[in-house]
Amino acid sequence: MEITTSTFFVEQSGFANMDISMSGVVSTDEEWVQEPLYAPFSRLYFVTGGSGFLTSSDGNIEMKPGNVYFAPCGKKYGYYSTPSVTKLFFHINIKVSEGHGDAFQNCVDFGWLPYPVMETQKLIESYLSDDPGELMILKSEIFGTVCRFYRLLAGKNSHKKTFSDAVVKSKSFIMSNLNASIRVSDVARAALCSESKLCRLFKDEVGQSVTKYIDEMLMSKAKTLLTYSELSIGEISDSLGFCDQFYFSRKFSAETGLTPREFRRIRMRQI
């Protein structure tokens, strides 16, 4: 008997571990809206009804029933309902090898694929089931869908803008260590370059400062926790590394025009 073993498979067996931080079945309303921001996770939407839009500076994509949509963490984007969209959603990170961050962190496109509403209804049944077997089937389908998007988006992005090594390392470090206490000097050290060079590269390639990028990632994570978790505002502040709840609230209000409590109250009406 002769066994053929793939060296690449053995070496990369730990590649692409999936982490799902938030999920749910929801019908949104007009208050489901966000101006374009960078986010520390990708979003996967299986749409069963209504319509909505994913928005960015280089175009919009309409979300319609019978499709699944993918918004990668590497893209600056927002969203809104028109006037309502019903979907099964997941916030996902696909972690690649140590030090290389998320598999989608350098993507520049949205993605969509046909996915019949009837099939999504089956996923929803599995999602709401207490059967461990159904959970395994669901996670397998989610992972398979994300892998199809990886192939789709990797092919699209192969001919588009790529980031310098320093910016790639910076984004990976920020995503893996997202915290309000991160300093530009910490990021530059991880990127193996000077602060001045990193700031110039980041501004040229990402379109904003390192500090602004970190702030947008923090605010996006805060909005998610306020909407979908039961953590108190103090606990959210602590989890994001703010020195105290009052500073977090001031920062959040400056970015959104709402206090964390007001934002949570508005978002909870649609859940």
Q: Which DSSP helix (H) or strand (E) runs through 68?
A: strand 67-71
Q: Which among 8-12, 14-18, 54-58, 64-68 has the top mean pLDDT?
A: 64-68
Q: Which among 96-110, 121-135, 157-171 has the top mean pLDDT?
A: 121-135
- List the domains of the chain with CATH numbers: 13-157 (2.60.120.10), 165-268 (1.10.10.60)
pLDDT recorded at residue 158: 47
Residues 6+ apart with CB under 8 A from 263: 223, 226, 252, 256
Only one residue has tokens 């977090």, namely 248
Query: Does residue 249 register a pLDDT over 90?
Result: yes
pLDDT confidence band for 156 (50 / 70 / 90)? low
Query: Does residue 270 register a pLDDT over 60?
Result: no
Query: Does residue 162 register a pLDDT over 60?
Result: yes
For the chain, the residue count is 271
CA dist list (Å): 56 to 37, 53, 119, 146, 216: 9, 10, 29, 21, 15
User: What would the pLDDT profile of 189-211 be if each residue is shown by its tens digit?
Assistant: 999 999 999 999 999 998 899 99
Which of the residue ranges 27-36, 113-122, 140-149 would you say has the lowest mean pLDDT? 27-36
More confident residue, 270 or 65: 65
Query: Does residue 98 register a pLDDT over 70?
Result: no
Mean per-residue pLDDT over the chain, rounded:
89
pLDDT recorded at residue 192: 92
CA dist list (Å): 231 to 38, 238, 261: 22, 10, 12
Q: How many CB atoms lie within 10 A of CB 196?
A: 10
pLDDT confidence band for 112 (50 / 70 / 90)? very high
d(CA 17, CA 95): 5
d(CA 163, CA 102): 14
Residues 6+ apart with CB under 8 A from 131: none
Query: Does residue 251 register a pLDDT over 60?
Result: yes
Q: What are the phi and psi torsion angles at 261 (to 5°)? A: -65, -40
User: What would the pLDDT profile of 71-89 be if each residue is shown by its tens digit?
Assistant: 999 889 999 999 999 999 9
User: What would the pLDDT profile of 119-152 be if each residue is shown by its tens digit?
Assistant: 999 999 999 999 999 999 999 999 999 999 998 8
Residue 36, phi-psi category: left (phi > 0), alpha (psi -120 to 50), beta (remainder): beta
Query: Does residue 180 register a pLDDT over 90?
Result: yes
Which of the residue ranges 57-66, 113-122, 143-152, 156-165 would you say has the lowest mean pLDDT? 156-165
d(CA 153, CA 248): 35
CB 166 within 8 A of CB 193: yes
pLDDT recorded at residue 1: 75
